[in-house]
Amino acid sequence: MIYLDYSANTPSCEEVLLSFLEAERNYPGNANSDHTLGRQAKAEMARITSSVADMLGVRANEVIFTSGSSESNNTAIFGITAHKNKGHIITTKLEHASVSEPMRILESRGFDVDYADIMPNGKVSPDSIKKLIRGDTVLVSVTAVDSELGTVQPIREISEVVKSHPGCVFHVDATQAEGKIPFSLDGVDISCCSPHKFYGICGVGIMIKKSHIRLEPLIHGGSSTTLYRSGTPALSLAASAEKALETANVHLTERYETVKRHNDELREFFKAYDKVKINSPSDAIPHILNLSVDGIKGTVFRRELDKYGVCVSVKSACSSDGMPSDAVLAICGDRRRALSSWRISLSHLTTTDEIEQFKEIFDRCYKTLIK
C-alpha cells in the first residue's frame, strides 16, 4: 500500500499517542467540576492552553479547543454573523467545504457574498478584495493554503486591506498551513487548524479568536473552560494537540525539506508525459501536488491507481466527487482540466521506495487509460 493522501489525514506520531494516554491516566476528573480531581484537570487544561498560545503567538484566552477545523470554521462564520440579519461577505472559490457551505447558507438567508479574483498563479488578489470591500462588509474569509492546489495565499497583504475597515473580521482557515510551514497570526482575527493534519489525533481542533472579536458560540449548554464552547473539556485530546504542535514546530524545516525533495522528483518525472498538466503552482507548499491527465477524469485515474494500492484523492476529502475542482477551474478556466484533476499529498514519512513504486504504477495506469 502506498499512501499519498497525507493532506486528508496523517498517522498520529508516537509522542502524540503517549501524551494522550498519559493525560487519560493522570487526569480522570472533569475540568468543570469543583473538587480536587476536577481542579487538577482544570489546572492542566490551563497549562496546555497557555502552552499552545505561546507556540502560536497569541494569548491563552484566545485559544479555543474544538472537534476540528470544520467545527471551527462553522463557529467563526456563523458566530460572526449571528447578530446580523444581512451584510456583505468576501470569500474565495478556493475554500474548504466547511467554509463554502456556510457561505451558501448565509447567502440563502440574505447575506451578499462576493468571491475575490484568483490570479493565474493561484493566489487570491488583494486588489480584488480592496475593490470588493465596502462599508457593510462584516467578514472576509480566505484560506492560508488551499487544500487542492497547495497555494500559499498573501494573508499579510489581505490583512492590511481588512484592517482599514474596523467593522470587518478577517477569518483564515490555516488547516493546510499550520504544522507544515511558518505561519503568523498577525493581522488575523479568527483562525483554525487541525492537529490530525500534522500527525496529531482526529477529533480535536485549535481555534484562535482574538480577544477583541465578538463571537456567538455554536454550541451552548453550560459553563466550561471557555465561554465559546460548552461541554466537558477534552483534556487528553488537548494534550495531544499540544504535543503535535510542539513536535511539528521542532521538525518543521527538516520535514519540509524531505517533502520538497519528493515533490521536485515527481514534478520532473511528470515532464515525460505529454498529457499531464501540473496544476499546483511552483511556489505551492511541497506537501500538495495537483495534476490533470488530459481526457481522463480524476475519479477514473484515482480508481485505477487504487487497484494497485496507491491512495490519492480527487479534491479535498470533505468534497463531493463528480464535480470539477473549483480551485483548478479558478486558475485555468478549463472545466475538462478541472474534472481531470487529482491530488497527491506527500509527507516526510513518504519513502524513496514508495516514490519509485508510484512512478512505475502511474506509468502502467497512464498507458492503460490513454489509448
- pLDDT tens-digit profile, the chain (371 residues): 999 999 999 999 999 999 999 999 999 999 999 999 999 999 999 999 999 999 999 999 999 999 999 999 999 999 999 988 889 999 999 999 999 999 999 999 999 999 999 998 999 999 999 999 999 999 999 999 999 999 999 999 999 999 999 999 999 999 999 999 999 999 999 999 999 999 999 999 999 999 999 999 888 887 777 888 888 999 999 999 999 999 999 999 999 999 999 999 999 999 999 999 999 999 999 999 999 999 999 999 999 999 999 999 997 555 555 678 888 988 888 899 999 999 999 999 999 999 999 999 999 999 999 97
Q: Please provide the distance, in angstroms rounded to a whole number, between the alpha carbons at the two ends of the chain.
A: 27
At residue 224, the pLDDT reads 79
Spatial distance between the Cα atoms of 118 and 128, rounded to a whole number of angstroms:
9
Strand ranges in the chain using DSSP code E only, listed in sequence order: 2-3, 63-66, 88-91, 112-115, 137-143, 169-173, 190-193, 205-209, 276-278, 288-293, 310-311, 341-345
C-alpha cell at 334: 478549463
Structure confidence at residue 252 (pLDDT): 98
Question: Is 192 a known active-site residue?
Answer: no
Model pLDDT, residue 135: 94
Domains defined for the chain, CATH in brackets: 14-250 (3.40.640.10), 251-366 (3.90.1150.10)
Q: What is residue 113's DSSP assignment?
A: E
For residue 232, CA distances in Å to 32, 46, 258, 345 come to 7, 14, 39, 35
Any idea what the Cα angle at residue 324 is, between residues 145 and 310, rounded to 5°?
75
In sequence order, which residues have a C-beta less than 8 Å from that of residue 262 and are 6 or more positions away?
Answer: 286, 346, 350, 355
State how far the Cα of 356 lies from the Cα of 247, in Å rounded to an integer.
Answer: 28
CA distances from 240 to 17, 24, 231 (A): 7, 11, 18
User: Rounded to an integer, what distance in angstroms lies between the CA atom of residue 266 and that of residue 189?
Assistant: 37
Q: Which long-range contacts (CB under 8 A, 24 or more apart) does 11-17 make?
A: 11/199, 11/349, 12/196, 12/199, 12/200, 12/201, 12/240, 12/244, 13/199, 13/244, 13/247, 15/243, 15/247, 16/195, 16/199, 16/200, 16/201, 16/240, 16/243, 16/244, 16/247, 17/201, 17/240
Q: Which of 13, 318, 332, 365 is catalytic?
A: 318
| Backbone φ/ψ region at 205: left (φ over 0), alpha (ψ -120 to 50), beta | beta
Q: Write out pLDDT tens, residues 66-95.
A: 999 999 999 999 999 998 888 999 999 999
Interacting residues of 219 by C-beta distance below 8 A, sequence separation 6+: 75, 229, 230, 231
Q: How far is 273 from 307, CA to CA, in rounded Å?
A: 21
Whether the Cβ atoms of residue 114 and residue 65 lie closer than 8 Å to each other: no
DSSP state of 291: E
278-310 tens-digit pLDDT: 999 999 999 999 999 999 999 999 999 999 999
pLDDT at 320: 54
